[in-house]
Structure formats: structure tokens, C-alpha cells
Amino acid sequence: MPVWFGTDGLRGTSFQFPVAEAPFRAIGFFWGRFLRERYGSSVEVLVARDTRASGGPLTRALMEGLSAAGCRCLDVGVFPTPATIWLAADRGCFAAIVTASHNPYPDNGLKLVGPDGKKVPVEVEDYLEGRLREYVPPPDVLNVRPYGEEAAHRYQAYVTRTFPQVARSDVPKPPLYLDLAHGAAYVLYPRILRALGWSVYPLHDRPDGTNINDRAGAVYPESLLRVMRASAPSDSLGFAYDGDADRAILVRPDHGVLDGHHLLAVLALYAQEQGWRPTRPAVVSTVMANQALEAFLAERGIELIRTPVGDKYVLQAIEENDLLLGAEPSGHLICRSLSPTGDGLLTTLLYLTVWLERPDLIRDVLTSYRPYPQVLRNVPVARKVPLEQVPGLQEAIARARDRLGGQGRVFVRYSGTEPVLRILVEAPSEALTVEVADQLAQAAGRVFGSTEGGPGGEPAGKAARVRE
């Protein structure tokens, strides 16, 4: 039985292998033993989770395994993933986060992070896969210290000293509407932003263990947009986060939903004005990046470097090219000088900095950057067979590309976090984009024998927001 570590850690259905207490206890034990053998007898691991009901028992099982291996656990409790990663780097220790990020409530998962703030290498995940079936340590050892309130104070202090300009009291500040997805940031993010002097109106901030990401947050920002258009002032700003708060999607009542590429465009132009310290005028995104973004940046002397889907690949390209910024359309935005991971609050504060200091730059992006229509279709799959081995699929893709006549692009891949085939179609004409995406999704559905809807109740033929 393999552990399905994907593009962003381990994910699956809660209490089904491998996302169950015994496997998590074993993963904790073998990872802890690996860490002690490599780094010595004194190993600390920050342990955090999101608001899913399954998070409590899974987290305890993980800490039991780590404790049995001789590690000390600092129990942060419910806490955003990026804040946990910052704390780990600040303390120089490891971190384990029990979360399925933007996935729906029945799922859960695990992210393992090193003291450099980066996800553990694939080699470590492979090691854990190989060891999982050997031994499950006893559940009667627990070496844990509560750390939640201290963690919140430390992270808030870091944010406050990093963004003193956002706390200015001499300029008018628009009200902030935050969609917290009933997730890990539901307490921390409003608390910090209010302390910085902003009026905050939270939405979806009542987690009950089962409602995380439920038609809320970064995957469903239309919910926040409806609320803002019904009751928010026209100058208000909205930010929608996902369940573990490493994504942020901007929402404005006068301009609608603005994805991670809009944020990247704004921050790229701002960084260019600041001299691109310490690097050159280029940013990173993935193969999902809109062609219009590439053209918009090129016209302003900024190169766009593309990577495979996944924030770890974005970070890798940022580091390899000695760059500052990278983002995915789903809202993962990495500013290398601040954090090695996407952080919804840092993204928010970066945007607010530009809002306060260069509002004309924001207006320029709003009027000049026009993304080409994109349509994403999700087709459920039972198994992820290599795409080139799926009978009839390549022919269907070729027909779709012929239909576009060189005026757009088709991109097909498996999700790294869910059992679905992602079909992305992009073209200057919205009608053509929808037509080609629908036809290709129907053809793929026949190929894979898919008759059910996509995850979260979305029919395979209905538009879905990019989830990763």
C-alpha cells in the first residue's frame, strides 16, 4: 500500500488508509527516527492542524509516533499552514501540519516541512512510504508542550515589524472583508489585521469540524463577492483564503474576483519600481498561467518563467533563477524575501502596501490587464494511468487544439491532490473556449467511463475554479 504523497504532501479520505490514525502514528515514528538519526537526539517538531473534525485524532496519532521516536512536539493547535512554516524557520525546527488545504471536508492530509521552511524532499516521502508497513509504535508515549498562544504572538510580532507601513493612521483605509473558509486562519488573521488598524468583517469564521471549504474561501470566492456586492462599500477589499490559509484570492465589489495572477501582476510592477532587489525583472508562474499575463508583463519588460503545477516547483524556479516573486492562479503567492511558501496574510499585506503607497499602479493593472477566457473542467478518474497510454485521449486533445486553430491552448493533466483529470482551455473568445472545453470534457468522460460529477458536487461539464 503506497502513501500517496502528491504535489503538496499526503492527502486522502479521513480515516481511510493512509489518512488514518495507525498510518499517521507510523509516519510520525519513522520520520522522527529518521530526524534523530540525522540531526541528533534533540529534535523539535511544530505540529499544527486545520479545523476538520478528523484533525484532532490524526494529530494526536502523529504526535504519538513522533514522541515514541524520541522527538519533542510543540502543539500549535489550529493554525494556518504558512504561519506554522514561518515559526519552524524562526525556531530552526521541523513542522508537521495535518491539513488537506483546499480539499473538501471529508479529506485530510499531512505536510512535512524542514527548518528551512521548505517541504521535505521527495526522497524523504519515498523513505516513509517504504517504512510504513513495518511497524506501528505504541500509543502510550506523548511528549508534547502546548504552543498555540505563544505561536500566535510570535507570528503577529513578525508581521507587525515586517509591515509597519500598513499600520499607518494618516491615510484612509478601506474596510476588509475576509472569507476564512471556516479554516485555520479564522481567529488569527482578523486578530492581526485589526491590531494593524483595519476594519475587518469576517465571513465563514464559524468552523464546526465539518464545514471547512464548504462553498467558501479561495475555491469559491463568488460567495464573498455576493456578500460584498449586497452590503459592502464600493471601495472595500475582500480576501478569500483556503482551509489552511496559504492561498489568497482578491475580491472587489466593483471588479469581481481577481485571481493570483492579478496579484502577481500588481506586485511585479511594484517590485520593478523598487528596483527588483535583490534580483532581475522576472517572475514565476506555472503552465496554467494565462497567456495574457505573459504578454502584459512582457510589454513592461518583465519575463514570465513557467513551471509544472505546484508551489514547490514555483519556489524551486524562484531560487534557481535568484528571483523574488512567483504565484499560481489559485492564490499561492510566494515572496521569497518573506517566506518560502504561499501565505494568505502576507499576500494580503503586500497588496495593502501597494494600495496605500501606489493606488495608481493598481488602477493601471485593473484597466490594462485583461486575462484571456479560461475554462477548467474536472473529469473524475478511478486510476491515474499515464495520459499517453489512455486510448483515444490524445486524439481528443488533438481535435480540441485543431478547433482552436492556433488561437489558444489546451492543457490536460491529472490533479496532484484529487482523483480528477484537469482540462484547461484558453482562447481569446469565451464562446469558443467553453465549446472546446465542453467537447473535450465529454470525450474524456467517455474515455474514462466517467458519469459522476467532479469533486465538491461540480458536474464534469461545469466550469470549475483552478484548485491548485
**Residue 435 domain flag:** yes
C-alpha 407/C-alpha 432 separation (Å) is 10
Report residue 453's pLDDT band, with 50, 70 and 90 as the boundaries: very low
**Residue 348 domain flag:** no
> Do 237 and 250 form a contact (C-beta atoms < 8 A)?
yes
Q: Is the pLDDT of residue 136 over 80?
A: no
**Residue 110 domain flag:** yes
The count of domains in the chain is 4
Least confident range from 13-22, 179-188, 236-245, 450-459: namely 450-459
Same domain, 225 and 272: no
> Do 445 and 451 form a contact (C-beta atoms < 8 A)?
yes
Residue where a domain terminates, one of 250, 278, 293: 250
Residue 186 domain boundaries = 163-250
355: cell is 494600495
Task: With CA atoms as reference, report the closest residue to 27 among 98, 87, 81.
Answer: 98
**Residue 41 domain flag:** yes
Q: Which residue type, as a one-letter code, is found at position 309?
A: V
Same domain, 266 and 241: no
Q: Is the pLDDT of residue 439 over 70?
A: yes
Query: Which CATH number belongs to the domain containing residue 188 in this structure?
Result: 3.40.120.10
**Residue 246 domain flag:** yes
Same domain, 13 and 108: yes
* DSSP β-bridge partners for residue 426: 374, 409
Please identify which residue in the block is written with the cell numbers 529518521. Answer: 34
Report residue 137's pLDDT band, with 50, 70 and 90 as the boundaries: low
Residue where a domain terminates, one of 318, 333, 368: 368
Whether the bond between 18 and the residue before it is cis, its omega within 30 degrees of 0, is: yes
Same domain, 167 and 31: no
Q: Which residue type, as a one-letter code, is found at position 37?
A: E
How many CB atoms neighbour CB 254 within 10 A?
A: 10
pLDDT tens sequence across 151-185: 999 999 999 999 999 998 888 999 999 999 999 99
**Residue 277 domain flag:** yes
Same domain, 308 and 408: no
Same domain, 269 and 241: no
C-alpha 459/C-alpha 377 separation (Å) is 9
- pTM tops 0.85, yes or no: no
Same domain, 121 and 197: no
Torsion sign over Cα 207, 210, 215, 218 = positive
Residue 364 burial (C-beta neighbours within 10 Å; 0-12, 13-18, 19+): middle
> Do 137 and 151 form a contact (C-beta atoms < 8 A)?
no
Known catalytic membership, residue 101: yes
Residue 406, pLDDT score: 81
Task: With CA atoms as reference, report the closest residue to 166 among 190, 186, 185, 194.
Answer: 194
pLDDT tens sequence across 210-225: 999 999 999 999 999 9
DSSP helix/strand/coil, 249: strand
The pair phi, psi for residue 63, each rounded to 5°, is -70, -30
Same domain, 229 and 115: no
Same domain, 333 and 293: yes
Q: Which residue type, as a one-letter code, is found at position 279?
A: T
How many CB atoms neighbour CB 165 within 10 A?
A: 12
CA 378 to chain centre: 18
CA 194 to chain centre: 24
The pair phi, psi for residue 86, each rounded to 5°, is -60, -45
C-alpha 286/C-alpha 422 separation (Å) is 14
Residue where a domain terminates, one of 187, 218, 250: 250
Q: Which residue type, as a one-letter code, is found at position 66?
A: L
Residue 405, pLDDT score: 87
pLDDT tens sequence across 75-96: 999 999 999 999 999 999 999 9
17: cell is 488508509
> Do 27 and 110 form a contact (C-beta atoms < 8 A)?
yes
pLDDT tens sequence across 344-380: 999 999 999 999 999 999 999 999 999 999 899 999 9
Torsion sign over Cα 314, 315, 321, 324 = positive
**Residue tagged active-site, from 14, 54, 67, 101:** 101
Same domain, 215 and 279: no
Q: Is the pLDDT of residue 36 over 80?
A: yes
**Residue 464 domain flag:** no
Same domain, 167 and 145: no
Alpha helix positions (H), 174-221: 188-195
Same domain, 330 and 407: no
Angle at 447 between CA 441 and CA 451, to 5 degrees: 65
**Residue 350 domain flag:** no
- The mean pLDDT of 437-450, rounded to a whole number, is 90
Report residue 416's pLDDT band, with 50, 70 and 90 as the boundaries: confident
Q: Is the pLDDT of residue 71 over 90?
A: yes
